[in-house]
Chain A
Amino acid sequence: MLTRLWWTFLKIGWLGFGGGYAMLSLLLNEMRQLGLSMAQYADLNALDLLIPGPIAINSATYLGQITAGFPGALVATLAVCVPSMVLVPLFMRREALIRRNPYLAQMLTAVKKVSVGLIFAVAFSLLLSTTMGIDDLSQWRQFHIEPLNLLIMAAALWLNARYKINPIWLTLGAGVVGWLSFYW
């Protein structure tokens, strides 16, 4: 498991252009292959918001911890740090060469565009699993709306987009609403 975590997060690190949000899509892909659930992925997103620090580090620590305990968290976190540790010294030595390279700039622009689609796909998958009870489109037969969750999701979207209310408060608020709904 530790070797698998190491290679997984090395891959996520090297392919993770544009930081945390792009990595979330790669991460969902890997979590599915490791047999983890959509609920565990949604919890990761909530913890990312509640715990300070870069999303990529938070995610690596979380995934390492739930699959292989302390050693897993350490290995996954170290692996995701490798690209920065390798690329920065390399860049410092070959600065002029890399900076003027037109190929690199174009590649990055293209990745950014694809990332937008990937993040929409992640958001869509989370929407399906948290408010419609299915993990992907192939399970469409089990489709059913969960009204309270759908309401929470729409309210958080609206409050965050329209009034710029901090996601941390909205997440905690959703927890309170969920808690109360048990007694209702």
Chain B
Amino acid sequence: MSKNWLLFKTYLLAGSLTFSGGMAMLPLVERELCMKHAVISRATLLEYSTLAQTFPGVIALTNACFVGRKINGRRGMLAAGLGAVLPAYVLMSAATILYQVLPNSGPVMTALAGIRATSASFLFVAAFDLARHNLTDRYSWLLAIAAFSLTITNLVGAPLLILGALACGLLQAGRQQQEAK
């Protein structure tokens, strides 16, 4: 079995079996690539996974690109990347088309209203979880609360806030560098 095919197949499988994405696909990738076929070491895979989380973009795809590139150069990167994206793209296209033809009346409408109501719940859970891990001092609470209030009042949009955060980080790092000197 060629390495490209193995990469494509592994990420295709991982992408179709893991929900709400991200690093949930890691155990499956580890079993296929590290244990069954031994094309990459476990330490390298974990290192790339951590690294992928620090990059902008789709984390699962970045991870696939790293691993593919490491195992089989540019072609490996494309094979793994395609495998990681394809299931989500195909299934979501199909689901969106189905969703568009749903009648917007009767019990379907009230069922959708019920489903919509849960979307806030899971985001709150995710947000609380992230807050516990990331907001460790007064300065970080300040950043988070500022971002929250500026967006809900429609004063500043999310893209600008993210750029602002990048600038804040840059300034802080600059100050630390000077202090170190």
Contacts and interface: CB of A to CB of B under 8 A. Distances in A.
A122 B123 contact: yes
A116 B144 contact: yes
Contacts of B130: 21, 112, 115-116, 119
A138 B154 contact: yes
Interface string A8-36: 00010111111111101110110000000
A25 B16 contact: no
B115 A171 contact: yes
Main secondary structure of the interface of A (DSSP, over half): helix
Given A15-B162, A73-B93, A83-B55, A136 B152 contact: yes
Nearest to A61: B92
Nearest to B106: A182
B174 A110 contact: no
Contact of B124 (A28, A157, A170): A157
Interface in B65-80: 65-66, 69-70, 74, 77
B84 to A, nearest CB: 7
Given A88-B62, A114-B143, A117-B146, A15 B56 contact: yes
B111 interface: yes
A7 to B, nearest CB: 12
Contacts, number: 372
Contact of B61 (A57, A111, A120, A153): A57
B1 interface: no
Q: Which bracket fits the contact residues of A?
A: 35 or more
A55 B21 contact: yes
Contact of B162 (A26, A42, A49, A53): A26
B15 A157 contact: no
A177 interface: yes
Interface of A: 11, 13-22, 24-26, 28-29, 39, 42-43, 45-58, 61-62, 65-66, 70, 73, 77, 80-85, 87-89, 91-92, 102-127, 130-131, 136-138, 148-150, 152-154, 156-157, 160-161, 167-168, 170-171, 174-179, 181-183
Interface of B: 15-22, 51, 53-62, 64-66, 69-70, 74, 77, 81, 84-85, 87-89, 91-93, 95-97, 99-100, 106-128, 130-131, 134-135, 140, 143-149, 151-154, 157-159, 161-166, 168-170, 172-174, 176-177
